[in-house]
Structure 1
Amino acid sequence: MSGRYRLTSIETVRESGSWLFRIRDAHGAREEVILVPCEESGVEAWSNNCTHEDQRLHREGVGATIRNSGIVCPRHGSIFDTCSGDCDNGEAAGTTLPSVEVTVEDGQVYLTDDDVDYLGSGGFDDSSGDDGPDSTSHLQL
């Protein structure tokens, strides 16, 4: 699919605490992904949804809540390790966030996951029809 794409710098991720971008997988599904600081690798990339419920971990204008090297789910408080994606507490205990492959080189972060295409930075704005057709239905409920 996309190959290698420069996303941002490690410095930007560290300063903001998290950085959000959009991808499309091989099946056409669109997804939000967050970059978070990781002491071991510089940054890691995870699906922007809690594994327990469809709850965004990084929210536009707020970012992701990072506490003691963990991404905190704003709904139930489950904490996912920033480096492994593993959760050992709360409603999501025993699960791991799906990862997206990134590479760090000379302080820059690159999307290197061959199974996805880069769609853009930031999250999906469902009201804008971003990267997809709007509904053509005229039904009102």
Structure 2
Amino acid sequence: MHQLTSVERVHDDGSYLFTAEGPHGAPEEVIVVPCGEGVEAWRNRCTHEDQRFDTGQGVPMRDGEIICPRHGSLFDACEGDCDNGEAAGTTLPAVDLAERHGTVFLVDDDYEFAHEGGIDDDEGPSSTSHLGL
């Protein structure tokens, strides 16, 4: 079990993004989104074309639904189901969380917390030539 964030922070910021080692040993991004008074977690990928929901600007949402930025499919933030657009009839892969006294914990045995933010957020500069003259 790993402490992630608070329910209040997710509701205030609109979402929370973290990277975990997934079930196949590869890094995977996970989004935590508001759901009623609580939160839910999903893989950060649309089921249609593997498009990221949160690309570093937060998860686009409207009226309790996650919006795919590529084709506009809408996923229920609490259930993960999509009933429209290119992803209609699919459900987002869930990641198990627990909430205790307003704190959110990763409890999914298939995921091991790596770091807050996206996959590439911990790699530092892409070049070593950052000299200023």
* TM-score (normalised: structure 2): 0.88
Runs of 4+ aligned residues of structure 1 deviating over 2 Å after TM superposition are 126-129
- Pick one of 24, 27, 30 that aligns with 2:27: 30
Q: SS at the partner of 1:27?
A: coil
The reply to whether residue 112 of structure 1 matches residue 107 of structure 2 is yes
**Alignment CA distance shift 1:12-1:127 (3 Å):** closer
Q: Which residue of 1 aligns with 2:44?
A: 48
Question: Matched residue of 2:10: which SS?
Answer: helix
Structure 1 residues 100-109 or 117-126, which shifts more? Answer: 117-126
For 1:73 and 1:109, the matched residues in 2 are separated by: 24
Which secondary structure state, in structure 2, belongs to the residue aligned with residue 85 of structure 1? coil
Alignment length (residue pairs)? 124
Aligned equivalents of 1:83, 1:7: Cα separation in 2: 18
Cross-structure match for 2:90 = 95
Distance 1:26 1:87 in 2: 23
User: How far is 1:65 from its partner?
Assistant: 0.8
Alpha-carbon distance, 1:26 to partner: 3.6
Give the counterpart letter for 2:55 in structure 1.
R
Counterpart CA distance in 2 for 1:74 and 1:81 is 15
Gaps of 5+ in 2: 125-133
AA matched with 2:4: L
1:88 alignment partner, SS class:
coil
Alpha-carbon shift at residue 30 of structure 1 (Å)? 1.2
Which position in structure 1 is the counterpart of 2:131?
none
Find the aligned partners of 1:45 and 1:80 in 2 and give their Cα distance. 12
- Residues 1:85 and 2:80 are matched in the alignment: yes
Note the residue ranges of structure 1 that are not aligned, 5 or more in a row: 130-141
TM-score (norm 1): 0.84
Q: Percent identity?
A: 57
Aligned to 2:128: none
Partner of 2:16: 19
Partner SS for 1:91:
helix
Deviation for aligned residue 1:25: 2.2
- The CA deviation at 1:27 is 2.4
